Chain A
């Protein structure tokens, strides 16, 4: 916190932008999350109707042409459209939409991606095999790529500071925020950080069919029920969120509202679909994040769970909480808003961060939609939001390929107390 001597330990979150199945503005997103509404529904995307993946969280009614210039639209996939729109909203929220910084070199961009631009890529590959290589457009070289959103955000806004792309599985969404905080600690003023995904095009959907964790249940009300005895896998989703993180001292000097601080993070790897092993991996990540944050287990006021929705994975997560937090692990309120939204891969932990910041600001723990019969020894918040004084939030994320991450957020000094 000190202005002199060592750099501030904490990085401020000063802006949030959300493009989610349950809201394309931060306020509408929070309203839906707080109410515990589920927007999971049958997939309606062209070419997906016949696939065994039946239920997803679609971002509907999103009109990219109203938000993004055509020169950017022609060379980008839907996942980048979401990221560009969320970045705009986050910059505006942070009061940085017109002039983000004194120098373009003081603003960087970090995104995480796990799905890439499948829809764009499929279209061009269909031209390749349908018409020939001469009919593949040159933007195929960049649009599908995991790095596309970082590149396009930085080009569109003229940001020339440190840029990065994290491709470390779904939990990479949390790792990206940690990377951004690290860049700020090393002296960059502002990092635009986030993740948004668009895995609901035919090619992308088919790629997911091999995941044994994928829910193929047809009933949207029963397709994704983490922490219950009826858990039958997860439901994929689109969208994500972008944050503005900056040096705490800088944020306070310019009078920005500090919505939260990034206090600690750690990540581990325990192997693809080895959910039994993820217990230890997740517990180590939690301990590491708490250690970096200088946070005792009892200080954690709420946990945003990974909530894979696979029985052995849910069990491992509940046990990891007990392993890492001790007796507090069975007492701390746990929630999983994504049960009503779906998992937008790397975008999912970003949406959880947004929900955690909003929960701390509003003093409300949102419920886990559609879950009533919890079969693990955790205090899962269900049915309705629970009022609580929230100073510290722990966000957890795991990926299908074996990554485990934990992030500790503290309520911002500028937030309503």
Chain B
């Protein structure tokens, strides 16, 4: 049943950071420093909130309330993908 779930990739997160917050980041850099704080990439809390809103609209359902409080790309990807899998 998880086969039809689209997982959020690092590449998609990078493009969302650009779209929602104007942050230009190389996906490889994002992947290799996935535990670094979002702030190190130039993404502020409102920027992350915008990404959460974008994803919620895309998936047509709410993400966990903790999503916008994630500190790092890895924590965010894990939480979002975990929610997508279990919520299917």
Contacts and interface: CB of A to CB of B under 8 A. Distances in A.
Interface stretch (A104-112, A138-146, A345-353): A138-146
Interface string B56-73: 110000000000000000
Q: Looking at chain B, what size class is its interface with the partner chain?
A: 10 to 19
A135 B46 contact: no
* Chain B, interface SS category: helix
A72 B57 CA distance: 24
B42 A75 contact: no
B22 A74 contact: yes
A49 interface: no
* Chain A, interface SS category: helix
A137 interface: yes
Given A71-B42, A75-B46, A142-B46, A137 B57 contact: no
B9 interface: no
A141 B56 CA distance: 19
B53 interface: yes
B20 interface: yes
A138 B50 contact: yes
Contacts of A134: 53, 56-57
A141 B50 CA distance: 12
A71 B50 CA distance: 13
Nearest to A69: B22
Contact of A75 (B22, B53, B56): B22
Interface in A109-144: 134-135, 137-139, 141-142
Interface of B: 20-24, 42, 46-47, 49-50, 53, 56-57
Given A71-B21, A134-B53, A142-B46, 5 more contacts: A71-B42, A74-B20, A74-B22, A135-B53, A138-B53
Interface of A: 69-75, 134-135, 137-139, 141-142
The 3 lowest CB-CB distance pairs between A and B, nearest first, are: A70-B22, A74-B22, A138-B49
